[in-house]
Amino acid sequence: MKISVKVPATTANIGSGFDCLGMALPIYNTVTIEETVLPGTGIEINVMSEGDTEEDFAMEHIPTDENNIVYKAVELLYNSIGQNPAELKITIKSQIPIARGLGSSAAVIVGGLLAANELLGKPADEAALLSIATEVEGHPDNVTPAIVGGLVLTSQEEDGSILYRKLKWPEEWHITVCIPDFELATEIARSVLPKEVPMQDATFNARRLAMFVEAIHSKDAELMKLALQDKLHQQYRMKLVPGLCEIIENLKHEENVLGCVLSGAGPSILVISQKNNLEKIKSIVSETWADLNVKTDIKTLKVEENGAQILEASLV
């Protein structure tokens, strides 16, 4: 049996929604799992990049044994029904840049889980898949939209369950994703965050997140400009993303720009805008980073409303 699953990229936090807001984007990873027929062959994991070869170096450093996060997710699923994974071949085809804040790890975790769940006859429902994916990833803001698609407000509850609600992103608000040619490991981006924050910063973000939800529902651009502000993570991560301060400052002068935020832990950034000044936005970002010898790939994307999808289910 052979199962292939296509999973979208995701962007998390989106300003004030630290660890609870996530959005699916139309860039994809594909995970294929097949049962091998020869006993004793164990686990075989192959990882390859589709398109540019710039990711090849990063691919070389992805574990291809039991330490691979896809295998860990698959193993948890098998264990949850009292089984152990035996002879499996796992193939990962990646379009999502690694360590750029676009949910590459969440995508492969979700892809592996859904493929393995199909192989096992679908013993896990959506709730179980969300819980297992979050256990492997560490937080639900990327894995939830990777599974269900769209813009999602999500929370991991004390019992380990995942609560989420989908929000409708206004179609007239453009999302420009700016991906620099350098990596930023999530572990490093997490390490610079304080263990405690001032009460006024916590309440600031609570207010801004409430504004975000209302701005989405009412399509209030002026409110959204405030809602995208953050005091829990971006100010600490600024030093890890060269040029980010300059980009934000330069974009302030563009009247149709609602905000500029880190995508997840970075270093990619999102520029939220309305009307048709997209080329000017791209020019500002690319020129600012070019001054620092940073190359960038800039895409204006729509929200991917579909989550992970089964592409192929066939007998080998």
Query: Are 296 and 308 contained in the same domain?
Result: no
Query: Are 309 and 273 contained in the same domain?
Result: no
The model's pLDDT over 230-274, given as tens digits with 9 standing for 90+, comes to: 999 999 999 999 999 999 999 988 889 999 999 999 999 999 999
Q: How far apart are CA 79 and CA 202, in angstroms?
A: 38
What global pTM score does this model have?
0.92
Query: Are 76 and 179 contained in the same domain?
Result: no
* Cα dihedral across residues 81, 87, 93, 98: positive or negative: positive
Average pLDDT, the chain: 91
Query: Are 130 and 108 contained in the same domain?
Result: yes
- Is pLDDT above 60 for 54? no
Q: Looking at residue 81, which CATH number applies to its domain?
A: 3.30.230.10
Query: Are 181 and 162 contained in the same domain?
Result: no
Please report the pLDDT score of residue 44 as a whole number.
82
Q: Which of 12, 22, 15 is nearest to 248 (CA)?
A: 15
Query: Are 135 and 194 contained in the same domain?
Result: no
- Is pLDDT above 90 for 36? no
% of the chain surpassing 70 pLDDT:
91
The model's pLDDT over 286-315, given as tens digits with 9 standing for 90+, comes to: 999 999 999 999 999 999 999 999 986 665
Query: Are 17 and 95 contained in the same domain?
Result: yes
Please report the pLDDT score of residue 77 as a whole number.
94
Please report the pLDDT score of residue 35 as a whole number.
81
- Is pLDDT above 60 for 82? yes
Query: Are 120 and 202 contained in the same domain?
Result: no
Please report the pLDDT score of residue 19 as a whole number.
94
**22: alpha, beta or left? (left if phi > 0; alpha if psi -120 to 50):** beta
Structure tokens at 204: 């600031």
Domain that holds residue 52: 2-167+303-314
Query: Are 204 and 234 contained in the same domain?
Result: yes
Q: How confident is the model at residue 41 (pLDDT cuts 50, 70, 90)?
A: low
Please report the pLDDT score of residue 152 as a whole number.
98
Please report the pLDDT score of residue 43 as a whole number.
77
Say which residues have a Cβ less than 8 Å from residue 245's Cβ, sequence separation at least 6: 238
- Is pLDDT above 90 for 64? no
Q: How confident is the model at residue 138 (pLDDT cuts 50, 70, 90)?
A: very high
Q: How confident is the model at residue 53 (pLDDT cuts 50, 70, 90)?
A: very low
Q: How confident is the model at residue 49 (pLDDT cuts 50, 70, 90)?
A: confident
Structure tokens at 142: 């990327």
Query: Structural domain tally of the chain?
Result: 2
Q: Looking at residue 240, which CATH number applies to its domain?
A: 3.30.70.890
The secondary structure element, H or E, covering residue 165 is: strand 162-167
Query: Are 135 and 226 contained in the same domain?
Result: no
- Is pLDDT above 50 for 227? yes
Least confident of 54-63, 80-89, 114-123, 150-159: 54-63
The model's pLDDT over 168-199, given as tens digits with 9 standing for 90+, comes to: 999 999 999 999 999 999 899 999 999 999 99
Query: Are 115 and 217 contained in the same domain?
Result: no
Query: Are 162 and 308 contained in the same domain?
Result: yes
